[in-house]
Amino acid sequence: MVTPRTAPPDDATLRAAAATVPDPELPVLTLAELGVLRELRIDRPTDQDDTSSHPPDAPPAARVRVRVDITPTYTGCPALETMATDLETALRQAGATEVTVRTVLSPAWSTDDITVEGRHKLSAAGIAPPRPTGHAEGGPVGLTLTIRCPRCGSTDTTLLSRFSSTACKALRRCDTCREPFDHVKEL
């Protein structure tokens, strides 16, 4: 359904709408902060360049087509379909008349794609952020840093299991405050 609008949305509005969609499994982060929102292309076709997929209820002048590329954190990530639906809903609410969400695998997602802001938000939510993987070509050699307890800040933590509540997390325990916590494991 298309809500009648006085003017079509500008690109910035659409980009902001996509950038603020939260991750279904880590809702403290947006898809953009998680680094899974790869690309967003906006075009405004007129009848001259495309008549094939013209929605009958939208006047030609108001057509706004958005194509979004997302990438899974893990190949088996079950949240991918929800991400696509959430993006489509947000973009349509912002005024897009046509939304296509495509899944791309290359280049493969890495925890290095999580933004600085995203790392702070993970920490604040009690989830230890991933360490740098050191995969960057030509960059400095990665150091093995200790993983801090997101509750008390202690570096004295032990791995309980490499696999936790979701594929992207490991389960650890703080040996100072004795609380278990999730850690987004490096990928």
Q: Please, what is the minimum distance in Å from the beta carbon of residue 42 to other proteins? A: 17
Nearer to other proteins, 121 or 147 (CB): 147
The pair of structure tokens assigned to 33 is: 């902060």
CB 70 within 8 A of CB 102: yes
Shortest Cβ 39–other proteins spacing (Å) = 14
Among 46, 85, 155, 165, which residue sits at the site for other proteins (rule: CB under 8 A)? 165
- Pick one of 108, 124, 125, 136: the residue that binds other proteins (CB under 8 A): 108
CB of 24 to other proteins, least distance (A): 15
Please identify which residue in 41, 102, 120, 178 interacts with other proteins, judged by CB under 8 A: 102
Q: Determine how many CB atoms are found less than 10 A away from the CB of residue 77.
A: 20
Q: Looking at 164, 181, 183, 184, which residue binds other proteins (CB under 8 A)?
A: 164
**CA 130 – CA 144 distance, rounded (Å):** 11
State both tokens at 15. 């980009």
Query: Which one of residues 56, 107, 138, 140 is an interface residue with other proteins (CB under 8 A)?
Result: 107
- For other proteins, the closer of residues 9 and 72 by Cβ is 72
136 lies in the site for other proteins, by CB under 8 A: no
Closer by beta carbon to other proteins, 63 or else 121:
63
Prior bond of 45 cis (ω within 30°): no
Residues in contact with other proteins, counted by CB under 8 A, come to a total of 25
* Residues 45-84, mask of contacts with other proteins (x by CB under 8 A): ---------------------------x-xxxxx------
